[in-house]
C-alpha cells in the first residue's frame, strides 16, 4: 500500500452502503487491511449522528463527519 496515504474518507448513502443499508463483508475486509497498513478510515455524511449509529459499525472507522441538523 502507498505509505503516503494517511486517511480514506467515504460517503455513506449511494457510495459505501448497499441498498439494504449494510456494508459488505468484502468492504469491511478491505477497510481492515487499510487500517492494518496504518491508514485511518472515516466517513462523511449529510445524516445526523443518531441515524449513522443505526447503520454503521463504528469500530471500523477512525473518524466521522456528520450533519448537525
- Where residue 42 sits, what CATH number does that domain have? 3.40.50.1000
2 occurs within a structural domain: no
Spatial separation of the C-alpha atoms in residues 46 and 40, rounded to whole Å: 21
Number of structural domains (the chain) is 1
* Residues 48 and 66 sit within 8 Å (Cβ to Cβ): yes
Residue 40: inside a domain, yes or no? yes
49 belongs to a structural domain: yes
Query: Does some domain include residue 1?
Result: no
- Which residues form the domain of 16? 7-67
**pLDDT tens digit sequence for 7-47:** 999 998 888 888 988 889 999 899 999 999 999 999 988 88
Cβ-contact 44, 11 below 8 angstroms: yes
Length of the chain: 69
In a domain, 57, yes or no: yes
61 or 68, higher pLDDT: 61
DSSP 50: H
Residue 52 makes CB contacts below 8 A (sequence gap 6+) with 12, 43, 45, 64, 66
User: Is 19 a domain residue?
Assistant: yes
What is the pTM assigned to this prediction?
Answer: 0.76
Amino acid at each position: 500500500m502507498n505509505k503516503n496515504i494517511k486517511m480514506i474518507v467515504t460517503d455513506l448513502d449511494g457510495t459505501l452502503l448497499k441498498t439494504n443499508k449494510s456494508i459488505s463483508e468484502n468492504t469491511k475486509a478491505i477497510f481492515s487491511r487499510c487500517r492494518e497498513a496504518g491508514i485511518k478510515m472515516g466517513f462523511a455524511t449529510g445524516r445526523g449522528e443518531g441515524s449513522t449509529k443505526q447503520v454503521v459499525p463504528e469500530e471500523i472507522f477512525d473518524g466521522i463527519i456528520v450533519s448537525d441538523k
